[in-house]
Amino acid sequence: MFNRSKKRKAISYTVILFSSLLMLTPLVSAALNSLKSYKEYTAIPVQWIPNPFQWQNYIEVWKMTSMDTYAWNSFIVTVLSVIGALLSCSMVAYAFARLEFPFKNSLFVMVLGTLMIPPVVMIIPQFMIFNQLGLVDTLVPLWILEWLAQPFGVFLMRQAFLAIPKEYDEAAKLDGCNPFQTFVKVYLPMCKPQLATLTIFTFMTKWNEIMAPVIYLSSEDKFTLPIGILSMSGAWFGQEQYLVAAALMSLLPILIVFLFAEKYFVKGASSSGLK
């Protein structure tokens, strides 16, 4: 048995090392590209290692663009979205999973249905609504919908609540908790992995979103990072290594946040409520 687990580890290591290599090579190559001069960038045969490392590419990009503003906007949108999604989705999902109320099933079918509606269908009418509310060219349309329980999160959290044995419910009821208290005290703590998943998911979607910012934002000082970078393409003909530098620079803030949050996600995932 000891041997078997050793063998398993060896296989695992090989698989993971190989796949990590595949994951990182493109990033490293791009990072090297971002540090080249244009001559080196377009040299044939390819010159892999820049000589010297042109760190000033990054300084130039920083000077020429409003990267800090873009990052701040992305941050605001993402954080507000994550908070909204966690609160609203779990609450709604709990009601669907554990409470009995009229029209529950038909409502839930609608949730599933809306999950399948291509968001683009609703862009124009939704734009008209936000326009009426005077919220166009603000960050609000980018996060407010997350506070109103998006179907993905509801679905995810409902699956999680369904997997929890019903006995917990009854125990809480005997303690005199109302459904809301049961939800907060009993159910939520047991679903940390799913909450973590939802956090990651919302974080990713919002941080990388391109379509909605393109439609709702027009002033450059409201741009989020992805469209900020996109708006630079074509800005530097014959200096494309700057574009690579700009793109990688836009990655830095989220990378830092991720490296910190990583710990939390792991903890959330490992301290599961199920025994």
Asked if residue 33 lies in contact with residue 49, where contact means CB atoms within 8 angstroms, the answer is no
Min CB(169)–other proteins separation in Å: 11
Q: Which residue has the tokens 């009229």?
A: 102
What's the CA dihedral at 97, 126, 217, 237 to 10 degrees?
Answer: 100
Task: Considering only CA atoms, give the Rg of the chain.
Answer: 24
Q: Does 227 bind other proteins (CB under 8 A)?
A: yes
Q: How far apart are CA 41 and CA 213, in angstroms?
A: 31
Number of residues that bind other proteins (CB under 8 A): 136
Q: Considering only residues 3, 106, 234, 260, which one is a binding residue for other proteins as defined by CB under 8 A?
A: 234
Return the DSSP state at 147: G
Q: Does 97 bind other proteins (CB under 8 A)?
A: no
Return the DSSP state at 166: T
Give 52 or 149: the residue with its C-beta nearer to other proteins. 149
Q: Considering only residues 13, 53, 55, 264, which one is a binding residue for other proteins as defined by CB under 8 A?
A: 13
Q: Does 124 bind other proteins (CB under 8 A)?
A: yes
Site for other proteins in 144-183 (CB under 8 A): 145, 147-150, 152, 154-156, 159, 162-163, 165, 178-181, 183
Site for other proteins in 241-270 (CB under 8 A): 243-244, 247-248, 250-251, 254-255, 258-259, 262, 265-266, 269-270
